[in-house]
Amino acid sequence: MLTKVFGSAVFGVDATTITVEVNIDKGIGYHLVGLPDNAIKESSYRIAAALKNNGYELPGKKITINMAPADLRKEGSAYDLTLAIGILVASGQLKSEEVDKYMIMGELSLDGSLQPIKGALSIAIKAKEEGFKGFFLPKINAKEAAIVSDLEVYGVENVLEVIDFFNGKGNLVPTIVNTREEFYKTLDFPEFDFAEVRGQESIKRCMEIAAAGGHNIVLIGPPGSGKTMLAKRLPSILPPMTLKEALETTKIHSVAGKVKVAGLMNQRPFRNPHHSASSTALVGGGSYPQPGEISLAHNGVLFLDELPEFKREVLEVMRQPLEDREVTISRSKFTITYPSSFMLVASMNPSPGGYFNDPEAPVTSTPAEMNRYLSKISGPLLDRIDIHIEVTPVPFEKLSDTRNGESSVDIRNRVTKARELQSKRFETFEHLHYNAQMTTKHIREYCKLDETSLNLLKTAMERLNLSARAYDRILKVSRTIADLEGTDTVNSSHISEAIQYRSLDREGWLG
């Protein structure tokens, strides 16, 4: 007897429907075709034990299974439940004309219980697009898939629940999620709050500007000055995610199997890879393609601590994603594009010893060591970082102050208002939403300077030996400072403040 059931393969961040054809005929054998990997080939052992332990059996006949399209490689153990249901129907142990109306996915344990799968949200979206009535999957993934409306999502704990459903038994009900209620859960109590930070008022101001304009930022300071602490609090002052952004972010984390809380992600991600990370770990890819750290940080923050300690070739692969807001991975057999629109926050010591420019500590690094250390960061990469700010240690008087500083919620309110101004300004542009994304053409149009401001900028560039690449960055940051004040024009005070945020362009740093 021939039967068809349906599963799905996740390729990149999108799903492709897989038709599983099961034919049972005279003879003995188990033949699985359609480019399955080893995990799928081993499924027969898991399926046999799971069915046996729940009162069913693998028929002792010739079982031929084709996974179409046959030229697309299938991977992972999530097809166990799909194959098991197909075998039961083809062998007459499960009689149902409804099986082909549902998407079915799940990894089986030997006792018939189901283990979580990756990409549940992508699969649910595809199931709805192709008109499936419902989706069976492990219960732990049900809330994530139920974000998709107009699709019956059944979270099951054991293969027996699926069998009983198609046999008209049991009381399995679909999982219902109020997407908007999940999305609009209060965000007024962030895990890391700027109110807890003592001192560092100038750095807080700088990070508020970075958040308001979506600017990439690098923090330069000696060990223990608070660089990591400040970076961890940046997501708390970014504007709340839109529903579209939340869906995009959840989809990527779902594909990677990294959805920590069931349901829709409503907080911006913060990714902090170790400096030993490979280029594949950072941008994604591999023999079985997976999104990397820059895609997991989509719509959030990517924090690179100790920036010069990263391998130079690893940092260089970030140049294209920082510019294009997406990363394309090309191999001989496939090409995948992952979204990667994130804010880059980096931190670094000012020298190998860590205490350059600190009057309280001796300089232990030679000029040659300094140049070698700082040269690990290429000019093209620095071209994509708008703000450089020096972080100095906090004096004891401020550390011992028991008063709380300004809360992240208050700062976020100002940031959100500035972003709203930018959204309105750039509403006619499809891929331009905030100041950091402006090109030279947009800078000339929206950052016009009067004579006083222009002379100030000219004087600063000459006296501080600022590089040419600093010019556009200063104008972008000035535009954001003006937006925080709610003014349409960029004036000399905005230029003056923005000039302070180009430390690495000055003579004595990178030359």
Tens of pLDDT, residue by residue over 371-390, are: 777 777 887 888 789 999 98
* pLDDT value, residue 197: 86
The confidence score (pLDDT) of residue 362 equals 56
What is the structure's pLDDT at 510? Answer: 46
What is the 3-class SS of 41-108, one letter each residue? HCHHHHHHHHHHCCCCCCCCCEEEEEEECCCCCECCCCCHHHHHHHHHHHCCCCCCCCHHHEEECCEE
Rounded Cα distance, 371 and 350, in Å:
11
Q: How confident is the model at residue 464 (pLDDT cuts 50, 70, 90)?
A: confident
Q: What is the pLDDT of residue 511?
A: 41
Task: Give the pair of three-digit tokens for residue 281.
Answer: 């770990």
State pLDDT tens for residues 122-176: 999 999 999 999 999 999 999 999 999 899 999 999 999 999 999 988 789 999 9
Instruction: Say what the pLDDT of residue 364 is.
Output: 61
Q: What is the mean pLDDT of residues 463-469?
A: 77
Q: Residue range 443-462: average pLDDT?
A: 92
How far is it, in rounded angstroms, from Cα 297 to Cα 317?
16
Give the pLDDT confidence score for residue 465 in this predicted structure: 79
Q: Which of 19-23, 223-227, 234-238 has the lowest mean pLDDT?
A: 223-227
pLDDT at 131: 96
The whole-number average pLDDT for the span 30-47 is 94
Instruction: Provide the pLDDT confidence category of residue 359 given band limits of 50, 70 and 90.
Output: low
The two structure tokens encoding residue 154: 């059944």
248-284 pLDDT, tens digit each: 999 999 999 888 766 788 889 999 999 999 999 999 8
Could you give all domains of the chain from N- to C-terminal order, each with its CATH number? 2-177 (3.30.230.10), 194-437 (3.40.50.300)
Spatial separation of the C-alpha atoms in residues 90 and 22, rounded to whole Å: 6
**318 three-class SS:** coil
Taking only the tens place, the pLDDT of each residue in 77-130 is 999 999 999 999 999 999 888 999 999 999 999 999 999 999 999 999 999 999
Instruction: Round the average pLDDT of the chain to a whole number and report it.
Output: 88
Instruction: Give 450's contacts (C-beta < 8 A, 6+ positions apart).
Output: 489, 491, 492
334, pLDDT greater than 90: no
Predicted confidence (pLDDT) at residue 341 exceeds the cutoff of 70: yes
State yes or no: cis peptide before 69, omega within 30 of 0: yes
CA nearest to 238, candidates 185, 176, 300 = 300
Cα 176 to Cα 181: distance, rounded to the nearest angstrom: 12
pLDDT at position 421 is 96
Closest CA to 504 of 381, 359, 393, 355: 381
Would you state the pLDDT for residue 42?
Answer: 94
What is the rounded average pLDDT of the residues 32-56?
95
**pLDDT category of residue 196 using cuts at 50, 70 and 90:** confident
Compute the average pLDDT of residues 409-421. 95
Q: State how far Cα 307 lies from the chain centre.
A: 20
Q: Identify the weakest region by mean pLDDT among 316-325, 366-375, 421-430, 484-493.
A: 366-375
pLDDT at 250: 92
How far, in Å, CA of 173 to CA of 179, rounded? 18
Q: What's the pLDDT score for residue 365?
A: 64
